[in-house]
Amino acid sequence: MLSLQSYLTLSAIIFSIGITGIVINRKNIIIVMMCTELLLISVNFNFIAFSHFMQDLAGQIFVFFILTVAAAEAAIGLAILVALYRNKKSISVGDLNKLRN
Amino acid sequence: MTFNIIGSILPEVTIAIAICIVILVNSLVRNASVTLIHSLVLFFLSFALFLSFVSLELPDSNIFEGHYVIDAFGTNLKIIALIAAIFVHLTSIKSKQNIKNEIFLIQLFATLGVMILCSAHNLLTVYLGLETLTLSMYGIVASNRNSIEATESAMKFFILGAIASAIFLYGVSILYGVTGTLSLDLIENSKLLDSLEMRIAVAFMACGIIFKFGAFPFHSWVPDSYQGSNTTAAIYISSVPKIGAFALIARLFLDSLNAISDFWSILILSAGLLSIIIGNMIALVQVNLRRMLAYSAIGHIGFVLLSFSIVNPNGVSASMTYLIMYLIMTIAVFALIESIASEDHQHIELGDLKGLSKSHPLIAFMLLFCMFSMVGIPPFIGFYAKWIVLSELVNNDMIWFALIGVTMSVIAAYYYLRVVWFMYFENNDQDIENKGVINTQSITSIMISAMLLLIGLYPSPVIDYTRRIISSFLLID
C-alpha cells in the first residue's frame, strides 16, 4: 500500500512538469494547452489521494467538476486557437508578439 | 422549503433565464437586431437588480447544504456588480458597429459568475463561480475574432488564466488535505491552520486571486487584453470581474482564514505595493491610450489590495470604497473613449486625441474630469478614494507605504495630465470637423462622468455604505 506522501510527491512532480513545459516551450501553443491539462490532472491526483486517505467523498466529487470544467476550458482554448490560426497562419508561441509596450 | 431556496437566489435565476432567452432569440429569430438583444439584456439585468434589492430584506441563511450563503455582504456586492454591468451595457450601445450579439450573452454569463462568487461559501462553489467568470472572460476578450490583436491577446490571457486557475486549485487541494473540509465555515475550526502546509496552500490561492485582480506578479494579461480586444470588451473586463475577486478575497481570506491573516496580509501587501509602483511606472511610457489605462488600472488595484492588507474593518471598507470609486472612474473613462472611437479606428493612440477639445468639446471636458479624478485632484471622487485609503494606512502605522502611494500618485499625474495636454493644447493638423453627434452612448458616458463630480462633492454616503457592509460582514462570526 502506497503512502499518502508518494501520491503527493507524484502529483507535485506532474505539476512541476506542467509548469516547466509551459515556461520552456517556444514552439507550439497546443503543447502549452497539454501542459495546462497536466496541471489540472495533478490537482485531481491530489484530491483523490486526500479523499481516499481521509475517507471523505467531497474531494472525489470535486474531481468530477474539475474534469468537466477542464473540458470546457480546453474547448474554449481550442476555439481561440482556431481563430488565432485563421488570422495569423501560425500557432507558434514566439509569434505572439504583436502587442508590446 | 424548495420555494424558499429558489426565492433567495432569484437574482441568479433571473440572469440564468436571461441567458437561455438570449440564446434562443439569437438562434431562432432570423437576423435578430442588436437593439432587440440590447433591450432584452437590459431588462433582465434591471429586473435582477430589483430582485437583489428585494432580497436585501431576507434573513441571513445558508442554502444548498452550506454551499451558498445569502447575507447582506453578498447581496450588496451583487447589487454593485449588477449596477456596473448595467452601466457597461448602456455604454456599449452604439447604433453602427460590428459588435456581435454574442458578446452581450457572454457578458451575462460573466455577471452570473460574479454573482455566484459573491455568495459562494464552499470551495467547490467558489471554483465554479470563478471558472464561469474566467471562461466567459476568455470569450469576451476573443469576441472580435477577425482581428489579429484580439485573438492574440485572448490566447495569452487564456494561457495565463489556465495556469492561474490551476495554481489556485492546487492550493485548494492542499487546503482540503490539511483541513479535511471544503466548506468555508469549517475551515477556521481546523487545528492545523498555522502549519507550513496551510501557508503553502494560502500562497497558491493568493496567486489565483491576485491574477483575478490583475495585480503585479500576474498582471501581464491586463495590458494585452485591454489593448487587443475592443473597447466594449475592455470596459467589461476592467470593471465587473474585480467585484468577484473582491468577494472571493473577502470570503476566503478575510473570513475563513482570518487566523493566519498576518501571513496572507504580507502577500497581499507586497502585491499591492508592487502593483502601484510597477503599474504607474510602466504607464509613463505608453502611447496607446487603452494600454496606458490598463497600467493605471494595475496601479489602482494596487491601492485596493494595499488597503485590504490592513485587515481591520476600517481598512477593508476603505478598500471597498476605493474599488467602487475605481469602477465609476474606469467605466466613465472607457465609455468616453468608446464614444470617440470610430469603427475602423479602435486603437486610439495618445496623438489621436489632438484637438479633441475642438471636435468634441463636451466629451473632452468630461475626459478632463476623469483624468483629474484618476490623478486624485479634489473635488473628484478619485481624491476621496485615495484620501480614505492613505488615511487608513497612516492610522495603522504604515506611513512608509502611504508615502510610496503618494509619490506614485504624483508620478501618475504626469501621464494622466499628458492626456489633457493632448486634448486641449495640441492642435490637430487635419481639418477639424465638429461632429457633435449625440447618441445614447455619449449621453450615458456623460451621465457617468457627471456622477464622478456629484459623488466627489458628496462622498460620505458611499463611505458610510461600505463601512456598514464590511462591519456587518465581520460581525457575523
Position A94 scores a pLDDT of 76
CA distance B284 to B418: 10
Position A60 scores a pLDDT of 92
Distance from the A1 Cα atom to the nearest Cα atom in chain B, whole angstroms: 19
| Residue appearing with cell numbers 432570423 | B30
Stretch B119-138: mean pLDDT: 92
Mean pLDDT, chain B, as a whole number?
Answer: 84
- Residue, of A96 and B413, whose pLDDT is higher: B413
Q: Please judge whether A33 and B162 are an interchain contact, meaning their C-beta atoms are less than 8 angstroms apart.
A: yes
- Asked whether residue B55 carries a pLDDT value surpassing 70, the answer given is yes
Stretch B32-60: mean pLDDT: 86
Burial readout B101-132 (b: 16 or more C-beta within 10 A, e: otherwise):
bbbbbbbbbbbbbbbbbbbbbbbbbbbbbbbb
- Residue, of B435 and B225, whose pLDDT is higher: B225
Distance from the B382 Cα atom to the nearest Cα atom in chain A, whole angstroms: 26
SS3 B70: strand
Q: Which burial class, exposed, middle or buried, applies to B285 when counting CB atoms under 10 A from its CB (0-12, 13-18, 19+)? A: exposed
Binned at pLDDT 50, 70 and 90, residue B271 comes out as very high
- Residue, of A45 and B360, whose pLDDT is higher: A45
Task: For chain A, give every domain's residue range.
Answer: 27-91
Q: Of the candidates A46, A73, A96, which has its C-beta nearest B135's C-beta?
A: A73
- Touching A: B residues 136-175, CB under 8 Å: 138-139, 142, 145-149, 151-156, 158-159, 162-163, 165-167, 169-170, 172-174
Q: Indicate the range of B17-31, B163-177, B461-475 predicted with least confidence.
A: B461-475
Q: Please judge whether A58 and B124 are an interchain contact, meaning their C-beta atoms are less than 8 angstroms apart.
A: yes
- Asked whether residue B419 carries a pLDDT value surpassing 80, the answer given is yes
Position B346 scores a pLDDT of 59
Stretch B31-52: mean pLDDT: 86
Position B270 scores a pLDDT of 92
Q: Nearest residue on chain A to B155, judged by CA atoms?
A: A80
Q: Indicate the range of A9-18, A21-30, B113-122 predicted with least confidence.
A: A21-30
Contacts of A56 in chain B (CB under 8 A): 180-181
Stretch B345-350: mean pLDDT: 67
- Asked whether residue A99 carries a pLDDT value surpassing 80, the answer given is no
Residue (of B474, B128, B459) closest to B325 by Cα position: B459
Task: For chain B, give every domain's residue range.
Answer: 2-475
Contacts of A77 in chain B (CB under 8 A): 138, 158, 162
Position B343 scores a pLDDT of 54
Stretch B250-273: mean pLDDT: 88
Binned at pLDDT 50, 70 and 90, residue B254 comes out as confident
Stretch B406-428: mean pLDDT: 85
Q: Please, are residues A11 and B204 in contact by the beta-carbon 8 Å criterion?
A: no
Position B81 scores a pLDDT of 93
Residue A99 neighbours by CB distance under 10 Å = 19
Position B195 scores a pLDDT of 85
- Asked whether residue B193 carries a pLDDT value surpassing 80, the answer given is no
In this predicted model, what pLDDT tens digit does every residue of B276-288 receive, in sequence order? Answer: 999 999 888 888 8
Q: What percent of chain B has pLDDT over 70?
A: 92
Q: Nearest residue on chain A to B287, judged by CA atoms?
A: A101
SS3 B212: helix
Copy the grid coordinates of residue B57: 430584506
A-B C-beta contacts closer than 8 Å: 121
Q: Please judge whether A46 and B291 are an interchain contact, meaning their C-beta atoms are less than 8 angstroms apart.
A: no
Question: Which H or E run includes B62?
Answer: strand B61-63
Whether residue B124 lies within 8 A of chain A, CB to CB, comes out as yes
Copy the grid coordinates of residue B216: 503585479
In this predicted model, what pLDDT tens digit does every residue of B145-190 receive, in sequence order? Answer: 888 888 889 998 999 999 999 999 999 999 999 988 888 888 888 7
- Asked whether residue B341 carries a pLDDT value surpassing 70, the answer given is no
Interface test with B, best of A84, A88, A92 (most B CBs within 10 A): A84
Q: Please judge whether B173 and A50 are an interchain contact, meaning their C-beta atoms are less than 8 angstroms apart.
A: yes
Enumerate the β-bridge partners of residue B69.
B62
Give me the DSSP letters along B254-272: IIITGGGHHHHHHHHHHHH
- Asked whether residue B333 carries a pLDDT value surpassing 60, the answer given is yes
Q: Please judge whether B138 and A43 are an interchain contact, meaning their C-beta atoms are less than 8 angstroms apart.
A: no
- Residue, of B435 and B251, whose pLDDT is higher: B251
- Asked whether residue B273 carries a pLDDT value surpassing 70, the answer given is yes
Binned at pLDDT 50, 70 and 90, residue B289 comes out as confident
Q: Is this structure's pTM higher than 0.80? A: yes
CA distance A50 to A56: 8
SS3 B156: helix
- Residue, of B414 and A26, whose pLDDT is higher: B414
Position B176 scores a pLDDT of 92
Stretch B317-332: mean pLDDT: 89
Contacts of residue B24, Cβ cutoff 8 Å, sequence gap at least 6: none
Q: Please judge whether A73 and B162 are an interchain contact, meaning their C-beta atoms are less than 8 angstroms apart.
A: yes
Whether residue B78 lies within 8 A of chain A, CB to CB, comes out as no
Enumerate the β-bridge partners of residue B70.
B61
Stretch B368-383: mean pLDDT: 84
Contacts of A80 in chain B (CB under 8 A): 138, 142, 151, 154-155, 158
Copy the grid coordinates of residue B157: 490571457
SS3 B72: helix
Position B95 scores a pLDDT of 47
Residue A19 identity (one-letter amino acid): I
Whether residue A74 lies within 8 A of chain B, CB to CB, comes out as no
Position B173 scores a pLDDT of 93
Q: What percent of chain B has pLDDT over 90?
A: 27
Position B243 scores a pLDDT of 93
Q: Of the candidates A15, A50, A69, which has its C-beta nearest B177's C-beta?
A: A50
Sign of CA dihedral A88, A92, A94, A99: positive
Q: What are phi and psi of B191, to 5 degrees?
A: -80, -20
Cis amide bond preceding B379, omega within 30: yes
Residue (of B175, B168, B181, B210) closest to B195 by Cα position: B175
Stretch B53-75: mean pLDDT: 85
Contacts of residue B96, Cβ cutoff 8 Å, sequence gap at least 6: B343
Q: What percent of chain A has pLDDT over 70?
A: 98
Residue (of B22, B13, B73, B21) closest to B48 by Cα position: B13
Residue (of A60, A70, A40, A11) closest to B182 by Cα position: A60
Q: Please, are residues B315 and B335 in contact by the beta-carbon 8 Å criterion?
A: no
- Asked whether residue B473 carries a pLDDT value surpassing 90, the answer given is no
CA angle B409, B414, B416 (to 5 degrees): 85
